Structure 1
Amino acid sequence: MKGSTMFRPIILALLLCAPALAEPITSGPRPLYLVDQMAPGPLRDRLMSCANDPVRRTLFSIGHRGAPMQFPEHTVESYVAAARMGAGILECDVTFTADKELVCRHAQNDLHTTTNILATDLAVKCTAGFTPADDDMRAHAECRTSDITLAEFRTLTGKMDAANPNARSVAQYMDGTAGWRTDLYAADGGDLMTHAESIALFKSLGAKFTPELKPAVVEMPYDGFSQEDYAQKLIDEYISAGIPASDVWVQSFNLDDVLYWIRHAPEFGAQAVYLDGSYRIEGWRPDLPETWVHQMGDLKAMGVNYIAPPTWVLLALVDGEIVPSRYALEARAAGIEIITWTIERSGPLQNGGGWYYQTIKDVTNSDGIMYEVIDVLAQQVGVKGIFSDWPATTSYYASCVGLD
């Protein structure tokens, strides 16, 4: 019955007043595990010196979808875990249902990998039902929030975001969690949330807000619901909840969304975050401004005060040392603040670190490099915050070096 319409209000009510959330913030064993992997030096010594110090809640530590390294993303459980690890800002990625209600999901079409929908009667409503793998094709499915109503969405439970492409059955397809993640905290599922519920929960946890307006996979306008309506509805839910704009960093990869907020909700637009996706363009390079879609001065002139590229865009190697990239330096020179993503999303870093470490892969040879990366981002790039799939890592660093 977990996640059912009957029990979800009770679960949320209990969490909103749970005394456990007033307990001291804890980081667990992982931060010091990472410190143990570091090469000897001043940074390692400083981080080790904080081993017995309390970890504080800090705005530098942002819970990326909660704490999805071990908890199902965008669930009550994931968000509570992130807050207990000191995340001062929590993220609800926002999309909408068939009846145009806002809910927390990373994509409008990810229910087949992030929830139990394929194992429920709602599977028949999916845009594309489960198709098993065969010798010529991988297993696949596509289930969208816009395939179902909010009432139906509430009956689902969250699971670790994964799918087995070689699956011959629904059960096999749903059982695809990476070995370095875990299903330990997902056995009973996770409680899904509306955007409005996330606002109430984050407030009760003492955290601030960074919702991301996700692109629709349905054609817009959707049943009369325009992109502008969508962007405004997100803002309206903060206004209705009495949340000050200064506590909210709204995000979008769509620059037009950011410009809409700047023009039509300027108090929120002042902290609107442009998720610069220019890196997807063939030939784009962080060290070559001539390949950039927008120069930093032009973005600033539009009213953009925050950008958020992935971590690798902000980093470069010079004589084997990790340093800020040209992109990072140009952004700061233009007076644009930087937030970045995502620490703790790559798994073990022994062999180059994968996508998030691509500009520094030649020196990425152990998990210990993670704190070197965080330190360069904080001290040399000057980022305001870092998204993490396991916020204890960034909370520990920020508490140790005295960041807000």
Structure 2
Amino acid sequence: MQRAMLAALCAAVPGAGLAQDAGADAPAMSYGQRPAHLVGQLEEGELRSTLEACLGDVPERTAFSIGHRGAPLMFPEHTVESNEAAARMGAGILECDVTFTADRELVCRHAQNDLHTTTDILTTDLAEKCAEPFTPASADAEASAECRTVDITLDEFRTLTPKMDAFDAAATSAEDYQGGVADWRTTLYADGATLMTHAESIRLFDALGADFTPELKAPVVEMPYEGWSQEDYAQAMIDEYREAGIDPSRVWPQSFDLADVRYWIENEPEFGRQAVYLMDEYDLDGYDPDDPSTWPQSIAELKDMGVNYIAPPLWMLVKLEDGEIVPNALADAAREADMGVITWTLERSGPLADGGGWYFQSIADAVDGDGDYLELLDVLAQDVGVVGVFSDWPATVTFYANCMGL
């Protein structure tokens, strides 16, 4: 039965590399080397001792571990291969960021306007269709371009080759613009990667034994688009799960737009009860997650709207108190309201010797090495009480969750 399903999936998703797993219930899981490496960076103490005792354990899939665009620390994001890697690391939930093409077909891309950094479009004949053509770097400006999924049709999208999300700001040619990958990432696994439509991601994730967290991305074109409203777009994403026969209990639809979340709550209640509000209040002037007077709405008010899950970034849930990482007011309010909390994105900051950048900004003074990935994860799980963590390398979260029985 499983062999037949995987064979059918390989036929349905061009380039799917699942053949080696045929006959298994799901891809064989492995933590690889990174969790052990991070444990070795921890200071001596209870957390290190606990995690060291688990290093020889056999991995198990867990919904606490969420693949953020698959496993993009080393694989091109939103590709078949990136998600296969995440599944092999035990991620129990996988993500397709959903946007649409010129012919209103849903595809997996982090943004509607990222094709110039995530694919080879600028080196193909489709470059002439880009909203903003490639402009080489000059003495006064960096190299630039903007290519959108809505600039091309689905058939044209399928001709593109994905790559690691990066660009060379000093490039004087479209070919050179393809570079710029951070030195702590890699291009080792980029060759032969395969783009996906949203419908293809559903079939793939199902066959990999994972559940689903699609994110409805904000369009860069004005809506309605050719008569297609934002509500139509939000409904189209849900419709593809219904058409695939997926139980709504396996789907956590996400959006930064609270109106999308409320649409699902009101019009697709089976899916809406697990809809996730991705909190971007950090963009508001004066916002402070530790000061409720600056919040546009309280957690209790969100709960009254029917929102059962919120997903703020890592730093919005914690603060430093006497040099220790502790929950902040937002985390406390979520717990008091019995609100499910998911957070993002672990392993996206690169090496933490310099404080961790944007994702660690509220605790930067306490961050000085890669062991702090696990220190923060422990606080989020044990003290904040998050129910899931997005990661660019899911093995780390899977290992921690398995060790702690989450």
Whether contact under 8 Å (2:21, 2:28) holds in the other structure is no
The CA deviation at 1:396 is 0.5
Compute the displacement of 1:15 (Å): 5.1
Aligned residue number for residue 153 of structure 1: 157
Contact 2:311–2:343 at 8 Å: present in 1 too?
yes
SS at match of 1:164: coil
Q: Which amino acid aligns with 2:327?
A: P
Normalising by structure 2, we get a TM-score of 0.95
Assess, with a 3 A threshold, how the Cα gap between structure 1 residues 386 and 13 changes in structure 2: closer, same or farther: closer
Report the residue type matching 1:108 in the other structure.
Q
CA positional deviation for 1:295: 0.6
SS at match of 2:99: strand
CA 1:18 to 1:140, structure 2 compared with 1: closer, same or farther past 3 Å?
farther
Question: Contact 2:213–2:251 (CA<8 Å) still a contact in 1?
Answer: yes
Structure 1 spans left out of the alignment, 5+ residues? 1-6
Aligned position for 1:167: 171
* 2:270 corresponds to 1:263: no
Percent identical residues: 63
SS at match of 1:12: coil
The 3 A distance-change label for structure 1 pair 13 and 87 is closer
Whether the aligned pair in 2 keeps the contact of 1:16 and 1:204 (CA below 8 Å) is no
Secondary structure of the residue aligned to 1:190 is: coil
The CA deviation at 1:138 is: 0.7
Q: Match for residue 213 of structure 2?
A: 210
Tell whether the 8 Å contact from 1:64 to 1:342 is kept in structure 2 after alignment. Answer: yes
Partner of 1:361: 364
- Shift in CA distance, 10/278, structure 1 to aligned 2, threshold 3 Å: closer
Q: TM-score, normalised by structure 1?
A: 0.96
Contact 1:16 1:201 in 2 (8 A): no
* RMSD over aligned Cα atoms: 1.5
1:184 aligned onto 2:181: no
- Structure 2 matches for 1:333-344, cutoff 5 A? 333-344=336-347
| 2:134 is aligned with 1:134 | no
User: CA offset at residue 17 of structure 1?
Assistant: 6.7
Tell me whether 1:84 sits opposite 2:88 in the alignment: yes
From 119, 123, 126, the equivalent of 1:122 is 126
Return the letter of the residue paired with 2:389: I
Question: Cα distance 1:391–1:14, how it changes in 2: closer, same or farther (>3 A)?
Answer: closer
What is the identity, as a one-letter code, of the residue corresponding to 1:239?
R
Q: Give the aligned length.
A: 397
Change (3 A) 1:299 1:134: same
Aligned residue among 241, 249, 253 for 2:244: 241
Structure 1 stretches of 4+ with a deviation exceeding 6 A read: none
Match of 2:3 in 1: none
In the TM superposition, what are the counterparts of 1:4-403 in structure 2 within 5 Å? 9-12=13-16, 18-19=22-23, 22-186=26-190, 188-403=191-406
Q: Which moved more, 1:278-287 or 1:195-204?
A: 278-287
TM-superposition CA deviations, 1:206-240 (whole Å, max 9, x none)? 00000000000000000011000000000000000
Q: CA deviation at 1:189?
A: 4.3
User: Within 1, Cα distance between the matches of 2:199 and 2:13?
Assistant: 13
Cα contact 1:34–1:367 (8 A) shared by 2: yes
Q: State the alpha-carbon separation in 1 of the partners of residues 74 and 196 from structure 2.
A: 18
SS across alignment from 2:289: coil
Structure 2 counterpart SS, 1:159: coil
| Runs of 5+ unmatched residues, structure 2 | 1-10
Q: Which amino acid aligns with 2:65?
A: S
Q: 1:9 to 1:208 in 2, by over 3 A?
A: closer
Shift of the 125–336 alpha-carbon distance from structure 1 to 2, 3 Å rule, reads same
Secondary structure at 1:387 match in 2: strand
CA distance 1:366–1:21, change in 2 (3 Å) = farther
Equivalent pair of 2:318/2:327 in contact (CA under 8 Å) = yes
C-alpha displacement of 1:109 = 0.2
86-95 vs 282-291, which deviates more?
282-291
Change (3 A) 1:124 1:18: farther
How far apart, CA to CA, are the structure 2 residues paired with 1:268 and 1:356? 29
**Change in 2 beyond 3 A, CA 1:123/1:218:** same
* Matched-pair contact (CA < 8 Å) for 2:273–2:306: yes
Is this contact kept in 2: 1:72–1:189, CA < 8 A?
A: no
Structure 2 CA distance, aligned partners of 1:9 and 1:371? Answer: 35
Native 8 Å contact 1:80 1:205 kept in 2: yes
Q: Is the 8 A contact 1:61 1:86 kept in 2?
A: yes
8 Å Cα contact 1:60-1:384 kept in structure 2:
yes
Deviates more, 1:319-328 or 1:197-206: 319-328
Q: Cα deviation per residue 1:169-218 (whole Å; 9 max; x = unaligned)? A: 112111110000000001x2420000000000000000000000000000
**C-alpha deviations, 1:105-139, integer Å up to 9, x for none?**
00000000001111111111100111000000110
